[in-house]
């Protein structure tokens, strides 16, 4: 499931290639973006945002995508290009991308620098002066918005918390764009960490108070911690927030 999450996050909704398009699963409940490369009688080959290619069986594609592929006659029968290198198996203890609770600051910096899911516009010299909170963001938008990353550390400088949050949006965006980001993150978190132990509706705007995190979903992480998804308000602007914490949060009655 974690590889599906990263595929969706890396490809996102913003096409990188000229022919990038949105593909849907057979039942229409899941989608991802990628560039059509070729197809044969049984499979279609798609290039991800990071340049890696994979094949999908027709049985797993939506009927509309099958129809679209059938119109691409130029590459019928061609063998799909070989991937440049195999994708390594994901770490089962990873909480987001390749980050794990207990990673040292230097390990986190190294993983962020090598990540295909997040990026920063700052060079290493500047990062040494500012730290990494709020510096990295998801490479692609989720529901039309990037998510910035923030971190918390133990007294021995090991990772205890990762927070993904959108930039603050106006109240007008709360029932539209922010709700779309929230909905896509529900789907992505489910792909990453399975069924939540607590799942609620999108909170009403009147429930959100300044400097308060209002969670709607809770996941138990394989690493032993907890994942929470919800909304927050800061300085009169609204945010969607995902919090990965080493704490074991018990289910509660979320609004």
Q: What is the pLDDT of residues 198-247, one digit of tens each?
A: 999 999 999 999 989 999 999 999 888 999 999 999 989 999 999 999 99
In tens, the pLDDT along 125-172 reads: 666 555 799 999 998 889 889 999 999 999 999 999 999 999 999 999
| Residue 255 in domain | no
| Residue 97 in domain | no
Same domain, 141 and 195: yes
Band the pLDDT of 30: cuts 50, 70, 90. confident
Residue 27: domain span: 2-70
Same domain, 57 and 179: no
Interior/surface letters 87-112, b for 16+ CB within 10 angstroms, e for the rest: eeeeeeebbbbbbbbebeeeebbebb
Same domain, 124 and 182: yes
Same domain, 232 and 109: yes
pLDDT for 92: 75
Same domain, 50 and 163: no
Token pair of 162 as six digits: 């990762």
pLDDT for 9: 54
Same domain, 112 and 237: yes
In tens, the pLDDT along 7-25 reads: 445 444 333 333 578 888 8
Same domain, 111 and 201: yes
| Residue 81 in domain | no
Helices 2-11 and 179-193 sit at what angle, rounded to 10 degrees?
Answer: 150
């Amino acid at each position: 499931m974690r590889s599906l999450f990263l595929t969706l996050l890396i490809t996102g909704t913003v096409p990188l290639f000229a022919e990038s398009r949105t593909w849907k699963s057979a039942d229409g409940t899941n989608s991802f973006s990628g560039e059509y490369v070729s197809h044969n009688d049984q499979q279609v080959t798609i290039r991800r945002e990071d340049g890696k290619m994979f094949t999908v069986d027709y049985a797993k594609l939506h009927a509309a995508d099958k129809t679209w592929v059938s119109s691409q006659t130029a590459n019928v029968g061609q063998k799909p290009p070989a991937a440049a290198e195999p994708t390594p198996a994901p770490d089962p203890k990873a909480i987001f991308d390749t980050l794990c609770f207990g990673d040292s600051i230097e390990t986190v910096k190294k993983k962020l620098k090598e990540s295909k899911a997040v990026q920063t516009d700052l060079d290493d010299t500047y990062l040494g002066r500012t730290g990494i909170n709020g510096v990295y963001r998801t490479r692609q938008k989720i529901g039309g918005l990037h998510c910035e990353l923030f971190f918390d550390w133990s007294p021995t400088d090991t990772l205890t918390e990762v927070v993904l949050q959108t930039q603050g949006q106006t109240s007008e965006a709360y029932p539209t764009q922010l709700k779309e980001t929230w909905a896509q993150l529900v789907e992505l978190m489910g792909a990453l960490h399975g069924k939540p132990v607590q799942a609620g509706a999108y909170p009403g705007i009147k429930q959100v108070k300044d400097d308060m995190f209002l969670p709607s979903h809770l996941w138990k992480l394989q690493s032993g911690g907890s994942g929470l998804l919800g909304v927050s308000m800061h300085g009169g602007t609204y945010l969607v927030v995902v919090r990965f914490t080493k704490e074991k949060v018990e289910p509660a009655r979320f609004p």
